[in-house]
Amino acid sequence: MLSAPARAQEKHHSFVDPMIGSEGLGRVFIGPSCPFGMVKPSPDCGTAPNSGWLPDPVPVTGFSQLHVSGTGGGPKYGNIQVMPFTGTLDSLDQSSPRENETVKLGYYSVLLKKSKVKTEITTAEKVAFYKFSYPSANKALKIDAGFFLGEQPVPDAREAQQFVGSEIELVSPTEIRGYSRIRAGWNNGRAYTVYFYAILDQPVTSFASWKGTKLYSGIPQQFDSNEKTGLLLSVGGTEKLLNMKVGISFLSSLKAKENIQKEVPHWNFEQVLTSLQNKWEKLFNRIEINGSASKTQQQLFYTGLYHTMLMPVDRTGENPLWTNDKPYYDDFYTLWDTYRTSNPLITLISPLKEAEIVNALIDIYKHDGYLPDGRSGNANGRTQGGSHAEVVIADAYVKDLKGIDYELALQAMLKDALVPPGGNEEQEGRGGLTEYNRLGYVPFSVVRSGNRTVDYAYNDYNIATVAKGLNHKKTFDRFIRQSGNWRNLWRDDYSHEGSKGFILPKDEKGKWLDTIPYGNSERQHPTYIYTPLTHETPWYACHWCGFFYEGTSWEYSFSIPHEVPALIQKSGGNAAFRKRLDTFFDKKFYNVANEPSFLTPTLYHWIGRPDLSSKRIRQIIAASYNTSRNGLPGNDDSGAMSSWLAFHMIGLYPNAGQPYYLINSPLLKQTIFHQENGKDFKVIAHGLSEKNTYIRSAKLNGKSFDQAWISHQDIVNGGELVFEMDAKPSAWGTKILQPLSLKP
C-alpha cells in the first residue's frame, strides 16, 4: 500500500533504461543525450557497430562524441574520440576491456580494466562532459581527431564512411582544438566537419602528437594533410580526478569553445546531469501514465518515449551550409521509418517541437532543393521508397500545427512529385518519377518499383490533403486521382495462399512479370519466379535493387493507408480480407522487425473488428517487446519501433497523414496527455486486467462513444476517453468505421 504513492512520485526518467534494445537488432544509442541532442557521447567498441557500443567482452576503443540511434546499414559519425589511459605516451592503441558498466538516462560510467580508470560521461546539448578517476595521479589522455565508425579497407565501399582530413592542436596546457572531416557513410553524403574544443581542469605536462601512424614527441599540433591526427597527453597535478569538457560544433573550433562557455561554464558534472534529466522530465511529463503501472510497463513506455526523441537532432545555430533564423535539424534516419509513429508521437508530446522539425524540412528544401527522406551529416540521402516528408507535412497540416508556411510546404511537396531528381534519386526526390507520371506506376526496370508505386500513391494523397485545405483545386484533382495509382500494380487475378490480388511486378509495356531474369550472363539465361513471398535481395539483386525495399508483396499489399476500404473491396470483401489478415499473421508473413507492416495489425478495424486488431497487437507485443537488451524486435530506427509500442500501450494508433487515431485496447489503465495548450486529455481503461482486454463500451467526455477511432482535434480539445473493459469481444466499435477524409 505504501509503495504505490512512493512510486508515483518517482521521476519518469528513472524508468528509462537506455540498454533496452541495445543488443540484437535494436542497435539503440546507449550513451547520454539531451532530447534531440546534437552531442551523443558514447563508447566505441571497434569501428563496426552503428551505435558505437557492443556488449562485453569487446574492448572499448574510446569514447566519441557523435552517434546515431537504432540504425541499420553502414554506420555514421563516431567523431572526436577520447580515451583515458596511464603510462607513457608511446602507443596509439589504448583500447581496453571493461567492467562495472553503468548506464542510466544521461549518465554512463565504466571501469577500464587496463588502466583502472573509471570514466563517467554526461552531456549538454553541444558539450560532452567527462569525469576520469585514475588509480593514481599518473594521468594520460588520448584525443583522436581521425577516428570514425564504419571504416573499411575498400576505398569507397558502399555505405562506409571515408576519411577526408583532421587537424589537432594543443592550444594551451588545458585546451585542445581541432576537427575531423569525414564523408559518405550510410547516406553516401558529402563531407561533413566536426569541430571540437576540449578543456581540461588540470594542465598538460607533456605531450606527443601523431599524424598517420607516426608519433611526434613534444610536437603540440598536426595540421590537416588528409591524414589522421591526434594527441597523447600527460596531465599533471596531484589529483587523481580529471574533468574534461568537449564542445562540438559544425561551424568552427571557436564556436565549439563558445558552446562550452554558453552551456557549461562551470565544472559541475552533477549540474549538467541534472539539467539533462530535467529536460527529459519536462517532455516525459507531457504523457503521464498511471502510477500503479508495473515497473516493466513504466520502463517500456518511458524508454519508448526516450528513444523517439533521440533523433532527429537539433542543430539550430550549427548549420554550415546556409544562414537564417530557421530551426535546423539533421539525422532524419529516415522519414520512411519515422513518419508512421515517431513523428506523430512527437506531435502529441510537443506540437511546437514537431512544427520546428517540419520547418527544418521545409528550410532544407528551400536551400538544398529537395525535401529529405533521409538526411545525415548535412546531406540528403538516402531514399528508400517514397518521398515521405509529404506524410510528415500532411500530418502536421491535418493536426493543425501552427507556425508552418503550408503554401511553401506544398511547393516543396510538389517538387518531389513533379521534378525528377536527375540521377540523384538515391539522395532525394522520387526515382522513376517520369515513368510513374507517364504510366501511373513505376515499372520493374526501376529498382524498388513496387514500394515506390504504393508509397508515391500515398504521398500523392498527402499532397492532395494539403492542396484541398489550401484550396488549390487543380492540384487536389490531379493528386487525389494519382493517389489511386497503387491499383495499377494490383494484380486482381493473382491468388496466393488463399488470398486474391497482390501488388506485383509489371514492365513498361504493362506485362505482368511472373519470371524475372537475373545476372548479366549472355550465355546463361536464368530466371526466378516472383511470388508474393519472394525476397529477391540480396541473392538475385542488391539490397536496394529489389521490387520492394525490405519487404514482400504480402507486406506491401496491405500498405494502402489512405484507401483501406478500396483495398478490402479489391481483396474480395470483409470476409476475404479478414482471412487475408489471419493468413498474414498466422503463417508468419508479418515482419515485426520492420516498418512497412506497422499499420497492418490495426486493419481489422476497417472490417468492424477492432477486437481482432487489439488481440493481434497484444500477441505481437508479448512475443517481441520486453525490457531486455534484446527487447526490440528490429532496428529501432530513430525510435520507430519504440513509438509503435508506446502508442499501443496507450490504446491509440495514428494513421499518419490523416487526422485520427485508431482505438485499441490499452495496455495501461490510464494515460494523461498534459498538452502544450494547457488542456489535459485522459485515456482511462476501467476494469483492465490480464483477463479483461476487450473494450465493452466507451465514453468521450461523458457521452457514449461507439466508434473505434478518435479525431486528433478531440484530443487537442481536452477531456476524457473512458473505456469499460471486458473479458470478451463486444459490439463496441463495430459499426462506425474510420473516416476517409478525402474522396476523389
Partner 1 sequence: MIRRLVCLFILGLLSFLASAQQPSPPIKAGTKIDYKFFLYGQTVPVTLTIKSMMDDVVLDWYIRGGVGSYLIPAAAFENGTRLNFIQPAQNTVIKLGAEETFALISKSAFSTLKKDKKLVYNNTTYILRENEPLFQAGGLQLDVLHVVGQEESGDLWILNNPDFPLICQVSNNPLGINFSMIAIK
**224 or 536: whose CB is closer to partner 1?**
536
Rounded to a whole number of angstroms, the CA Rg of the chain reads 26
What x-and-dash track marks residues 699-718 binding partner 1 by CB under 8 A?
--------------------
Rounded-to-integer distance, Cα 73 and Cα 273, Å: 32
Q: How far is the CB of 589 from partner 1 (least distance, A)?
A: 12
Residue 419 as a binder of partner 1 (CB under 8 A): the answer is: no
Tell me which residue of 596, 498, 613, 603 sits closest to 553, measured CA to CA: 596
Among 216, 267, 512, 528, interactor with partner 1 by CB under 8 A: 528
Rounded-to-integer distance, Cα 180 and Cα 76, Å: 13
Pairing, β 719-726 against β 680-686: parallel
**540 or 577: whose CB is closer to partner 1?**
540
Which three cell numbers mark 575? 470476409
Cα 687 → chain centroid: 35
Burial classification of residue 664, based on how many CB atoms lie within 10 Å of its CB (0-12 exposed, 13-18 middle, 19 or more buried):
buried
Residue 322 as a binder of partner 1 (CB under 8 A): the answer is: no
Residue 403 as a binder of partner 1 (CB under 8 A): the answer is: no
Residues 6+ apart with CB under 8 A from 588: none
Among 55, 261, 403, 539, interactor with partner 1 by CB under 8 A: 539
CB-based contact 592:624 (threshold 8 Å): yes
Residue 587 as a binder of partner 1 (CB under 8 A): the answer is: no
Cα–Cα distances in angstroms (integers) from residue 285 to residues 13, 314, 342, 356, in the given order? 10, 21, 17, 20
Among 521, 586, 678, 743, interactor with partner 1 by CB under 8 A: 521
Among 538, 573, 687, 744, interactor with partner 1 by CB under 8 A: 538
Beta-strand ranges (E) seen in 156-240 are 161-172, 175-184, 189-200, 204-211, 214-217, 221-222, 229-235
Q: How far is the CB of 518 from partner 1 (least distance, A)?
A: 7
Alpha helices in 152-197, H assignment, sequence order:
none
Rounded-to-integer distance, Cα 441 and Cα 222, Å: 55
Residue 515 as a binder of partner 1 (CB under 8 A): the answer is: no
CB-based contact 27:71 (threshold 8 Å): yes
Q: Restricting to residues 148-207, name those near partner 1 by CB under 8 A.
A: 157-158
Cα 135 → chain centroid: 40
Residue 540 as a binder of partner 1 (CB under 8 A): the answer is: yes
Which three cell numbers mark 339? 513518419
How many C-beta atoms surround the C-beta of residue 714 within 10 A?
18
Task: Give, rounded to a whole angstrom, the gap between the first and last alpha carbons of the chain.
Answer: 58
Q: How far is the CB of 543 from partner 1 (least distance, A)?
A: 6
Q: How far is the CB of 514 from partner 1 (least distance, A)?
A: 15
Residue 530 as a binder of partner 1 (CB under 8 A): the answer is: no
Q: Which stretch binds partner 1 (CB under 8 A): 216-224, 241-249, 464-472, 516-524?
A: 516-524
Residues 6+ apart with CB under 8 A from 228: 144, 145, 146, 147, 163, 166, 210, 211, 212
Q: Which stretch binds partner 1 (CB under 8 A): 219-227, 229-237, 514-522, 561-569?
A: 514-522
Cα 522 → chain centroid: 43
**294 or 524: whose CB is closer to partner 1?**
524
Q: How many residues bind partner 1 (CB under 8 A)?
A: 20
> For residue 379, what are the β-bridge partners?
376
Q: Which stretch binds partner 1 (CB under 8 A): 32-40, 220-228, 294-302, 536-544?
A: 536-544
Among 4, 8, 321, 542, interactor with partner 1 by CB under 8 A: 542
Q: Which stretch binds partner 1 (CB under 8 A): 225-233, 388-396, 430-438, 539-547?
A: 539-547
Among 520, 586, 678, 690, interactor with partner 1 by CB under 8 A: 520
Among 224, 227, 477, 536, interactor with partner 1 by CB under 8 A: 536
Q: Which stretch binds partner 1 (CB under 8 A): 142-150, 196-204, 234-242, 518-526?
A: 518-526
- Strand (E) or helix (H) holding 408: helix 406-418
CB-based contact 359:293 (threshold 8 Å): no
Q: How far is the CB of 737 from partner 1 (least distance, A)?
A: 37
Residue 523 as a binder of partner 1 (CB under 8 A): the answer is: yes
Q: Which stretch binds partner 1 (CB under 8 A): 48-56, 75-83, 90-98, 520-528?
A: 520-528
Number of DSSP helices (H) and strands (E) in the chain, helices first? 18, 33
**533 or 727: whose CB is closer to partner 1?**
533
Q: How far is the CB of 23 from partner 1 (least distance, A)?
A: 16
Helix, strand, coil shares of the chain, percent, nearest 5, are 30, 25, 45
Residue 543 as a binder of partner 1 (CB under 8 A): the answer is: yes
Residue 526 as a binder of partner 1 (CB under 8 A): the answer is: yes
**213 or 515: whose CB is closer to partner 1?**
515
Q: Which residues bind partner 1 (CB under 8 A)?
A: 157-158, 518-524, 526, 528, 536-543, 545
